[in-house]
Structure 1
């Protein structure tokens, strides 16, 4: 296998560590292998869109999700480092409203599988970061929702105190007011 899968506090959310082949020339690894992903992570996933963002230090993006056309996301960093966060928005789940954060970086080459039903966001902890992520559905701006990054009911321990956020993220809803998944 070309990946090692690490469990998180959510059984559905996985950290994926690729097998990296390195020598004096540099390194090589498979950043995605559909067969390995299906066997070790989720056999019912089909990716339809790749996204790429670049952000400066202190930028916080999220916490985003689509209430209709929900997206699963496979997230990785190719430059810099981020603190990547997921929040369980499935009302029926015993972990509803709970969060988990993991550092993804170009150095550790880890990826995070964020399945449908979770909000996702990240904060840039390096000078800048380039984030690539695959999604299981297309982006529909009319269905996009946002949980406010500093909702005290969730209590995310972000590594930055005063993040730079987009106007749409600044007006995100509190979990208690947000549309969630049944």
Structure 2
């Protein structure tokens, strides 16, 4: 019995532990290569490529926070393998969310960056192409890059604030 137990422990020490360490190190190396890439074309124009498998909204929000970007215009193309879109119902003043889990092309992503209650607020709409060449579109709540996501951002040298309008039920510009 003790011999079997010792053999199992030795097998774990010789094969499993090094394999786990190797997998950990490889994943760490891969994740360091999955960084967003950017280039500044002009003073106000930025080209941003989001990392594969990143979530678009959280990646873009983190980018804006890191660059202290409080206002801007966004457009983009790319591909995702899941997306949650929202549709606003003016009767109920609520969003209806729907998640799509399939490979889709970002035919168009457009929107803006502003501030709401002192935090970055992204207002993005997206048109997604399916493999049968049909499209779906709506307000983007979340999406996971699967391939590429190439964005063009035009910075605005002014803080654009938003406020909630209870009559409409939406966050609107507060000029």
Normalized against structure 2, the TM-score is what? Answer: 0.30
Q: Write 1 or 2 for the structure with the bigger share of strand.
A: 2
Normalized against structure 1, the TM-score is what? Answer: 0.29
Q: Write 1 or 2 for the structure with the bigger share of helix.
A: 2
